[in-house]
């Protein structure tokens, strides 16, 4: 089983949104969900430590395909640890199935569902606020911009319209709970989403000088 200290080395080039702190939060939440949902802890722990490992490597398209690259890297690591083919394949499925924007391989096992949910919970609540603003900053986008009616209706910006952290909240974060698989994660997500909604309501009010 890979250790936390071993895994830390895989994320030395990570950006501030997908760094090792994110991996540790997902690892801890995945443990919590696995215990509540009856998942295999060893598979969940390994998948959590490895789920973004190759997505942190330099490369223009690394985030887009990071789940496939990380699954390949996981196989190398786990074979070196003496894992058998079936358990390696179980971890790889968890990793390939965790990406929100790629639905080509939906989570099938309870372990894959746990990893998916743990990863998505990290975009909600107080951590979600920090990460979505950090993501916008890294992308050169504003914290807040009023979305166009077209974006509200379709999720597509008008020409020149920024994709602010509030746009991301409307486009993705508010819909994350609907995609979760476990009852435990959905209950946590409901509380975290309420906090996120309240934050953006306050941000908009302060932005416009109303509070």
pTM, 2 dp: 0.89
pLDDT digits (tens, 9 = 90+) for 117-161: 999 999 999 999 999 999 999 899 999 999 999 999 999 999 999
For residues 72 and 127, membership in a common domain is answered with no
Mean pLDDT across the chain: 91
pLDDT digits (tens, 9 = 90+) for 162-177: 999 999 999 999 999 9
Same domain, 52 and 128: no
On the CB side of 70, CA atoms within 13 Å amount to 30
Do 89 and 180 share a structural domain? no
For 193-209, write each residue's pLDDT tens digit. 999 999 999 999 999 89
Task: Examine residue 137 and state whether it is found in any structural domain, yes or no.
Answer: yes
Q: Is 112 part of a structural domain of the chain?
A: no
- Which tens digit of pLDDT belongs to each residue from 51-105? 988 755 444 345 556 788 889 999 999 999 999 999 999 999 999 998 877 677 8
User: Tell me, what CATH number does 161's domain have?
Assistant: 1.20.58.1910
Find the radius of gyration of the CA atoms of the chain. Answer: 18
Domain boundary among the residues 102, 137, 165 is at: 102
Residues 127 and 187 occupy one common structural domain: yes
Q: Please tell me the distance from the alpha carbon of residue 164 to that of residue 205, in angstroms, as a whole number.
A: 16
| Short-list 68, 91, 67, 69, CA closest to 79 | 91
Which one of 69, 102, 135 terminates a domain?
102
Asked if the structure places residue 207 within a domain, the reply is yes
What is the distance between the alpha carbons of residues 112 and 100, in angstroms, rounded to a whole number? 13
CB 180 within 8 A of CB 33: no
* 149: exposed, middle or buried (Cβ count in 10 Å: 0-12, 13-18, 19+): exposed
Tokens of 26: 């997902």
Q: Which domain CATH number covers 30?
A: 1.10.3210.10
CB 47 within 8 A of CB 91: yes
């Amino acid at each position: 089983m890979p250790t936390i200290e071993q895994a830390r080395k895989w994320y030395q080039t990570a950006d501030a949104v997908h760094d090792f702190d994110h991996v540790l939060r997902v690892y801890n939440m995945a443990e919590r969900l696995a215990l509540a949902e009856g998942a295999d802890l060893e598979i969940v722990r390994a998948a959590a430590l490895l789920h973004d490992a190759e997505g942190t490597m330099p490369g223009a398209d690394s985030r887009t395909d990071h789940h496939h690259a990380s699954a390949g890297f996981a196989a190398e690591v786990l074979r070196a640890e003496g894992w058998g083919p079936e358990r390696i394949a179980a971890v790889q499925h968890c990793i390939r199935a965790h990406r929100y924007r790629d639905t080509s391989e939906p989570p099938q096992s309870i372990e894959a569902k746990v990893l998916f949910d743990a990863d998505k919970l990290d975009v909600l609540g107080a951590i979600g606020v920090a990460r979505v603003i950090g993501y916008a900053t890294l992308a050169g986008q504003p914290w807040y911009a009023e979305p166009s009616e077209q974006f509200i209706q379709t999720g597509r910006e008008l020409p020149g319209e920024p994709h602010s952290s509030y746009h991301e909240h409307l486009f993705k974060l508010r819909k994350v709970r609907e995609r979760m698989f476990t009852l435990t994660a959905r209950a946590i997500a409901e509380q975290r989403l309420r906090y996120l909604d309240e934050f953006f309501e306050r941000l908009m009010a302060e932005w416009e000088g109303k509070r």
